[in-house]
Amino acid sequence: MDGTAILFILAVAGVASICLFTTKGLLDQVPDVIRSAGQVRDEWERFKKKHDEAPKPDDEEPPPPVTVPADDEEPPAAA
């Protein structure tokens, strides 16, 4: 009976140790994740700002002037 109690205590301590180690590892990554999320947000805002400031054409370009052949030949007929 004494051996079983000792093994149970060691198993619980081992599981608690693993849980604490895993939790610490996850919590150590939180500041980097928050920092990265802030950088992504800043870059997205910069992208949207550049996209909004892009020059927009005022009007469509006027069509090119129609050229008339110098001699009185008719242009080839469309097929």
Residues 28-44 have pLDDT tens digits of 999 999 999 999 999 99
Alpha-carbon gap, residue 16 to 13, rounded angstroms: 5
- How distant, in Å, are the alpha carbons of 63, 74, 75 from that of 78? 21, 12, 9
Its pTM stands at: 0.47
Q: Are 69 and 75 in contact (CB under 8 A)?
A: yes
Residues 45-74 have pLDDT tens digits of 999 888 777 566 666 676 777 776 566 667
